């Protein structure tokens, strides 16, 4: 086990084998290349944290947008996936960076640039999808409520 001190979690122990490698970092964070995807127990696996292992102050709320938008279908250039290594069956996971403000009703996700993780290689990348109709700021709370997958009070832990 290794330990990192983080702004959101304090001292965090983790298994180095759980670390995700982002070969090109994330937009605006090119030096942050190692991350942990941390689940939130009380959000029914809808929201997660993407915690940098290179800088304990860098952490992004993430959402499994399929919990609210099951028809979400980002079209990604196959060349963009090359950094993720060989893709095996269902090894790809798709998440979206979220903004969860004090007014939970204003929770939004970036549908235009999903974060794609290849669990077979433990590599990830944020990729701009070709779907021009997907916005950068999509207000998702009404969809979550309609899907019955998330209760507003649960976002308090985000």
Q: What is the pTM of this model?
A: 0.89
- The alpha-carbon radius of gyration of the chain (Å, integer) is 15
CB 81 within 8 A of CB 58: no
Domains and CATH numbers, the chain: 2-147 (2.30.290.10)
**What is the per-residue pLDDT across 73-120, written as a single tens digit (0 to 9) for each?**
999 999 999 989 888 877 899 999 999 999 989 999 999 999 999 999
Tokens 């304090």 identify what position? 10
Mean pLDDT across 42-55: 86
């Amino acid at each position: 086990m290794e330990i990192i001190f983080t702004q959101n979690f304090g001292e965090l122990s983790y298994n180095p084998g759980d670390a995700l490698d982002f070969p090109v970092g994330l937009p605006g964070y090119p030096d942050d290349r190692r991350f942990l995807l941390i689940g939130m127990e009380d959000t029914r696996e809808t929201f997660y944290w993407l915690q940098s292992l290179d800088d304990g102050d860098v952490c992004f709320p993430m959402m499994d947008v399929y919990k609210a938008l099951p028809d979400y279908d980002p079209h990604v250039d196959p060349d963009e996936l090359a950094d993720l290594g060989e893709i095996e069956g269902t090894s790809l996971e798709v998440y979206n960076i979220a903004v969860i403000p004090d007014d939970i009703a204003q929770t939004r996700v970036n549908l235009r640039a999903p974060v794609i993780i290849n669990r077979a290689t433990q590599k990830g990348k944020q990729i701009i999808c070709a779907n021009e109709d997907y916005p950068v700021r999509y207000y998702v709370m009404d969809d979550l409520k309609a899907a019955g997958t998330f209760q507003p009070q649960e976002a308090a832990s985000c």
